[in-house]
Amino acid sequence: MASAAPPHHRVLVLAALLLSSQLAAAAPSPALGADLLGAARAPSFAAWMRGLRRRIHQRPELAFQEHRTSELVRAELDALGVPYAWPVAKTGVVATIAGGAGAGPAVALRADMDALPVQEMVDWEYKSQEDGKMHACGHDAHVTMLLGAAKLLQSRKDDLKGTIKLVFQPAEEGYAGAYFVLEEGDLDDMSAIFGLHVNPDLPIGVVASRPGPFLSAAARFTLTIAGKGGHAGAPHATIDPVIAAASAILSLQQLVSRETDPLEAAVVSVTMLKGGEAYNVIPGSVTVGGTFRSMTDQGLSYLMKRIKEIVEAQATVNRCTATIDFLEEELRPYPTTVNDERMYAHAKEVAEYMLGEANVKIASQNMGGEDFAFYAQRAAGAMFFIGVGNETTMERVHPVHSPYFVMDEDALPIGAAFHAAVAIEYLNKNPCA
């Protein structure tokens, strides 16, 4: 007859069993991902999503002007029976799906709605009907993916253990819509947030991101250097602001090459320059504008301080005066988008179960700015790129913000399912958050 195991052995066995059951509960369900993706790819569901995206694409609206897009979002949410708050930050919509399986945390999913002041050059049936406006950054797809997620989640609301907020946000393109959404308080209870952004450099079925700093902090500047204008044939009788502006522009380039650690990413780009309008007249003033970026908020603050010092010093040396505006009220600087390590790991694991490990990539840091950063400062955030490129069907893959930007709409069901799975699995993993 075998002897009974010592008490401490029994304790170890029980602990191991408890740990294994917790790990099993925490791991995403392969069946859930497959079910969500299959539902989103069903012919009628996919056709509905394509129709939504094309309607939005044809009628693009700029920042804080997304009235028609917001109306479409609300109509679809009404049809699904999903309640929402509106208006949020002028045109935004924050919908709420409250689970029926008990109390739990609130996790948010975000899509931006605004278009760009770009004239679409792609000739296709659903080309933009708004002159000088285009969904060249894929926000029409973002809205569509989140509406798709809303449909998937609403059909499963009785099994949800917590609350899911769906954020249809205005004004990502430069106007910090996320900041103003947060100011209104509808997301005060969220403990985590997830977002997707289309990326034509990634093929269909591939997603990518990275933990920690992902997208740069970004800000803008405009400056005026004033001197004394006069005839170009008598420069000694003038105070030439063109020389001062040229000196300032050249000096600004040294901020990255000589004052920034070579291992830290930073950018100072002068993109606008306007002086006189006659060949033989030295102007009285010159205006200059541009952007500066850093992969840290501290780096952005340093660049801001030094841009001001350099411009004012170069103006003084050249007997001019300078005024500089960082547009902090109109075009609020964006912080660095920092992916929370645990939220990133969660979304990555969900994607691996749904799409396969080979289709989940580590993305490089990117010097594009994103106001998703404001959400990530408030809660555990993770943003992922989702592939919309298809070299077999596209003559050429064009980047976002290009007037020739196109995307493969087969990405829409993937984005909808990915959103929904991240939210459901987050609630399953964090029942007491």
Nearest-angstrom CA–CA distance, 244 and 310: 11
Residue 1 host element (H or E): none
Nearest-angstrom CA–CA distance, 93 and 381: 19
Helices (H), 336-403: 341-355, 372-378
Instruction: Please name the amino acid found at residue 10.
Output: R
Whether the pLDDT of residue 3 is over 50: the answer is no
Whether the pLDDT of residue 285 is over 70: the answer is yes
Whether the pLDDT of residue 84 is over 80: the answer is yes
Nearest-angstrom CA–CA distance, 348 and 184: 30
Confidence of residue 103 (pLDDT cuts 50, 70, 90): confident
Nearest-angstrom CA–CA distance, 89 and 371: 14
Nearest-angstrom CA–CA distance, 43 and 41: 6
User: 426: closest CA among 330, 331, 338, 350?
Assistant: 350
* Model pLDDT, residue 241: 98
Residue 286 tokens read as: 């010159």
Whether the pLDDT of residue 196 is over 60: the answer is yes
| Eight-state DSSP code of residue 102 | -
Instruction: Please name the amino acid found at residue 213.
Output: P
Phi, psi of 274 (to 5 degrees): -140, 130
Nearest-angstrom CA–CA distance, 404 and 400: 9
pLDDT mean across residues, the chain: 93
Residues 6+ apart with CB under 8 A from 208: 199, 202, 360, 361, 362, 363, 384, 385, 387
CB 386 within 8 A of CB 410: no
- Residue range 248-277, pLDDT digits in tens: 999 999 999 999 999 999 999 999 999 999
Nearest-angstrom CA–CA distance, 309 and 302: 11
Whether the pLDDT of residue 19 is over 80: the answer is no
> How deeply is 410 buried, as exposed, middle or buried, from its count of CB atoms within 10 A (0-12, 13-18, 19+)?
middle
Quickly count: other Cβ atoms within 10 Å of residue 188's Cβ.
10
**Can you tell me the mean pLDDT for 196-211?**
97
- Residue range 213-228, pLDDT digits in tens: 999 999 999 999 999 9
Q: How far is CA 306 from the centre of its chain?
A: 28
Residues 6+ apart with CB under 8 A from 127: 58, 120
User: 93: closest CA among 148, 47, 146, 133?
Assistant: 146
- Residue range 43-67, pLDDT digits in tens: 999 999 999 999 999 999 999 999 9
Residue 431 in 3-state DSSP?
Answer: coil
Nearest-angstrom CA–CA distance, 397 and 393: 10
Residue 150 tokens read as: 């809303």
- Residue range 127-172, pLDDT digits in tens: 999 999 999 999 999 999 999 999 999 999 999 999 999 999 999 9
> CB-side exposure of 67: number of CA atoms within 13 Å?
1
